[in-house]
Amino acid sequence: MTSSAGTPAGHGAGGLPRRVGRPPRIDRDAIARAVTEIGLDEVTVKRVADHLGVSVPGLYHHVRGRDDLLRLAAEHSLARLRLPEDRGQHWAVWLREWARYARAAFAEQPELLQQFVGGGINDDRVLDQVGVALDVLRRSGFDPRAAKAAFDAVGTLAVGAAVEVLRERRAAVDGRPWLARVHANLARRDPDEQATLRELLADGYVPDLDADFEEQLDTVILGLAVRHGLPVDDEVRGTAGN
């Protein structure tokens, strides 16, 4: 059976079958997952609509545009960012667990990092994380202001370290790892310039982002203990005590 226009019944323009039944039901979580699956660099409203099997106008019932899509993806990632479980562990152990997890999560989910840095994440989601952390630190002997400062210090380190991971990952893909960039820079300079950097290379230094991060984390945590008059024990010293 054909329509008056000569198109088979049940088919749309071009002879393609029409969807039968109700259109797919979507919510903001499904949209966020679709954005993540497509990839941030490729995201458009149309691509997401096609991925979900809905119309572009239908998708606009849930989002306002591309920026909203990116924000949803970031909040979806943040919701999966889990603080360390409070098992009664030492405060320094807890902070290290949090910093390592945050660094890894931000480095593996650039959409979360981009929206976090740009202030595009819902404040309630962020404060949920902060509140849990402050409660843990408060029970460990930090006063409220000190707890906030400690969490901020470690969080800032984790974010900066994630940026460094992404930066070096991109440079390596482009064939420009750190050592190559440094040697190229020194070759353009007089031999008496950058003396300490030359000494570092002569000593056999090779960047290890994971080891460098652990050393930086030890420095921050040791500094927090000293500043706030807390015992400097093996947990506080971390790898520096080995």
DSSP 180-209: HHHHHHHHTS-TTSSHHHHHHHHTT----H
- CATH number for the domain that contains residue 51: 1.10.10.60
pLDDT digits (tens, 9 = 90+) for 7-27: 454 444 444 444 444 445 788
In the numeric block, which tokens belong to residue 215? 């050393």
pLDDT digits (tens, 9 = 90+) for 92-104: 999 999 999 889 8
> Which of 34, 57, 77 is the last residue before a domain boundary?
77
Quick one: the chain helix, strand, coil %, rounded to 5? 65, 0, 30
- Name residue 133's amino acid: A
Residues 66 and 89 in one domain: no
For residue 123, the SS3 value is helix
- Number of structural domains the chain divides into: 2
Start-to-end CA distance of the chain, whole Å, equals 81
What is the residue range of 96's domain? 83-241
Residue 136 · residue 129 · CB < 8 Å: no
d(C-alpha 154, C-alpha 146), whole Å: 12
Residue 206: the pLDDT is 92
What separation in angstroms does the CA of 140 have from each of 128, 135, 155, 242? Answer: 19, 9, 18, 24
In degrees, to the nearest 5, what angle opens at C-alpha 95 toward C-alphas 90 and 96? Answer: 100
Residues 42 and 140 in one domain: no
Residues 125 and 223 in one domain: yes
- CATH number for the domain that contains residue 133: 1.10.357.10
Q: What is the rounded average pLDDT of the residues 111-134?
A: 75
- Output 119 or 218, whichever has higher pLDDT: 218
Q: Is the pLDDT of residue 4 over 50?
A: no
Residues 73 and 109 in one domain: no
Nearest to 161 by CA among 117, 206, 213, 84: 213
Residues 101 and 221 in one domain: yes
Asked, for residue 56, whether it belongs to a domain, the answer is yes
Residue 76: the pLDDT is 74
For residue 9, the SS3 value is coil
Residue 137 · residue 150 · CB < 8 Å: yes
- Residue 170, CA atoms < 13 Å, CB-side half-sphere: 8
Residues 200 and 129 in one domain: yes
- Output 122 or 194, whichever has higher pLDDT: 194
Residues 50 and 148 in one domain: no
Asked, for residue 167, whether it belongs to a domain, the answer is yes
Residues 93 and 139 in one domain: yes
Nearest to 65 by CA among 53, 56, 74: 56
